[in-house]
Amino acid sequence: MAVAKRAVSQPVSLPSPTGGWNARDGLTAMGPLDAVTLTNWFPATTECQLRFGYTKWATGLPAQVETLMAYSGGSTDEFFAISDGEVYDITTSGGVGAAVVTGLTNSRWGYLNLATPGGNFLSMANGVDAPYVYNGSTWTNPAITGVTATTLENPILYAQRQFFIQKDTLKTWYLPVQSIAGAANAVDVAAFATKGGYIVAHGTWTIDAGQGVDDHYVVMTSKGQVIVFQGTDPSSVTSWQMVGVWDIGAPVGARSLYKYAGDMLLVCEDGVIPMSAALQSSRVNPKVAITDKIQFAISEAITDYGNNFGWQLIYVPTINQLWLNVPVDEGNSQQQYVMNTISGSWCNFTGWNANCFELFQDQPYFGGDGYVAKAWDTNADDDTNINGYGLQAFNNFNGAGTLKRFTMSRPILRTDGAPSIYAGIDVDFNLNDLSAPLTTSPLGIAYWDAATWDTGVWGGALQVIQNWQGIHGVGYYGAPIVKVAANRTQVRWVSTDIVIEGGAIL
């Protein structure tokens, strides 16, 4: 008589999903370093890092902050927020004082910094109100002639000239070289925009990453046509020419063009596309998008939220991250799709309800409801918990077609505190998270110049924690889950060990 053999347990180890969020491939086609879901876990090059949080920089603003502007005037840096149609100086943290500009129709403005022989200026326009300029001490309305100035929006700098879009038209307007005012002249692209529409965004595309002869002026229409010009003087037929017209997906939001190194990124229905790639392959090859690996998520977000205000790209070079703001519920609930600019891996952030982003003194900030926050600052969201959720790719653990019982899991983490940790498993492509929400308490770390000497607890180096937890799952494929809740605590996810009992084919 045959004696049934006892199931043999064996451990397997998986690195953390530094390949990032995969919202493109089938669940059986993902690589072992991919994740089905990767929320608030940033895929660094060697491990996944629980994202940093934010602290409130400026408070007491009257409504949603929808524009942030950083003024750079030589050695002077100043910071401004626009809320409820008023401009506030937020250079110093704390409660805001009286508005420095009032009576604006809305808070959605474009701006630029430019240097002229008369000084350094911040120029801003919104297509409804008269444009403003700031010289470091005074806000004034520049005298722009030749066009109705209140129709001008989205100023940019190209070939030492200010260019503006004329709202809801196929015209842009430019001023004389190194000028904040004067007679404006038009660049009319109606003859090239064969699909009609109006100009949504424009920008400077520099092929050689310098300010030389390879600079191009780019106009993007509401119908997804990209019109490119080259030259320095639009009034001269010898030094200004149209390079070409390309059709891509329609742009998403007024802030849909973003200067990125020597290239330009376009936020459109096809995802986030580098200009250099888009003009080579147009819409034939969707893999030119840097969002290719999360393309399904991008497509869903644009379909559902594409008309909401708040779509914006920002590159944060100090932490090698590119953030795409996704306004899920305008003014109330936003998230960010985040790319590691070294590896190209993606994740998403939740918990930052941001309408707009800007860098000030190389640090990222966002505008929220009645406040401006300094992002990626401390290990808490305004003293509340940061919650990370990671569901790794499904894996058959070299046993395709073999039933398995998953019994234990051990996330290996590096931390300087005591975060709450949950280890789980999803089997056979079930994506449900049935675990209870995690809670944790702030770690009472002492701060220099604030804590009592010989009494405060000082933060230490990152220590490895690796505790086994019981898990329950029977199936052919398994996907480890790692959830954490942390407050004032760093957490790095290195790998996950799983104990499996092998079974029969049926």
| 352-386 confidence digits (pLDDT tens) | 999 999 999 999 999 999 999 999 999 999 999 99
Q: Look at residue 478 and tell me whether its pLDDT is greater than 60.
A: yes
**What's the token pair of residue 102?**
């009032």
Using a pLDDT cut of 90, give the percent of the chain over it.
81
- How far is residue 283's CA from residue 226's CA, in Å, rounded to a whole number? 12
Region 408-427 average pLDDT: 96
Q: Which residues pair with 302 in a beta bridge?
A: none
- How far is residue 506's CA from residue 501's CA, in Å, rounded to a whole number? 14
Q: Look at residue 92 and tell me whether its pLDDT is greater than 80.
A: yes
At position 253, the amino acid (one-letter code) is G
Half-sphere exposure of 84 (CA within 13 A, CB side): 11
Q: For residue 226, how far is the Cα from the chain centroid?
A: 23
Cβ pair 100, 89 in contact under 8 A: yes
Q: Which pLDDT band holds residue 261 (cuts at 50, 70, 90)?
A: confident
Helix (H) or strand (E) holding 279: helix 275-281
Whole-number pLDDT of residue 111: 98
Whole-number pLDDT of residue 457: 45
Cβ pair 422, 472 in contact under 8 A: no
Region 162-168 average pLDDT: 98
417-452 as b/e: b if 16+ CB within 10 A: bebbbbbbbbbeeeeeeeeeebebeebebeeeeeee
Taking the CB of residue 335, how many other CB atoms lie within 10 A of it? 21
Whole-number pLDDT of residue 295: 93
- How far is residue 254's CA from residue 127's CA, in Å, rounded to a whole number? 12
- How far is residue 347's CA from residue 354's CA, in Å, rounded to a whole number? 17
Whole-number pLDDT of residue 210: 47
Q: Is 17 helix (H, G, I), strand (E, B) or coil?
A: coil
Region 132-152 average pLDDT: 98
Tell me, what DSSP letter sits at residue 126? Answer: B
Q: Which pLDDT band holds residue 440 (cuts at 50, 70, 90)?
A: confident
Whole-number pLDDT of residue 458: 46
Region 119-126 average pLDDT: 97
- How far is residue 381's CA from residue 350's CA, in Å, rounded to a whole number? 11
Cβ pair 370, 354 in contact under 8 A: no
Cβ pair 20, 390 in contact under 8 A: no
Q: Look at residue 465 and tell me whether its pLDDT is greater than 90.
A: yes
Q: 227-257, pLDDT tens digit by residue?
A: 999 999 999 988 899 999 999 889 999 999 9
3-state secondary structure 319-372: HCEEEEEEEEECCCEEEEEEEECCCCCEEEEECCCCCEEEEECCEEEEECEEEE
Residue 400: Cβ-neighbour burial (10 angstroms; 0-12, 13-18, 19+) = exposed
- Picking from 212, 240, 216, the residue whose alpha carbon sits closest to that of residue 227 is 216
Q: Look at residue 76 and tell me whether its pLDDT is greater than 60.
A: yes
Q: Look at residue 42 and tell me whether its pLDDT is greater than 70.
A: yes
Across all residues in the chain, what is the average pLDDT? 91
Range of lowest pLDDT (19-28, 63-72, 138-147, 213-222): 213-222
Mention every residue, 6+ apart, whose C-beta is less than 8 A from residue 163.
155, 156, 157, 172, 173, 174, 187, 202, 217
Whole-number pLDDT of residue 8: 77
Q: Look at residue 450 and tell me whether its pLDDT is greater than 60.
A: no
Whole-number pLDDT of residue 282: 46
Using a pLDDT cut of 70, give the percent of the chain over it.
91
Range of lowest pLDDT (32-36, 286-290, 337-341, 447-451): 447-451
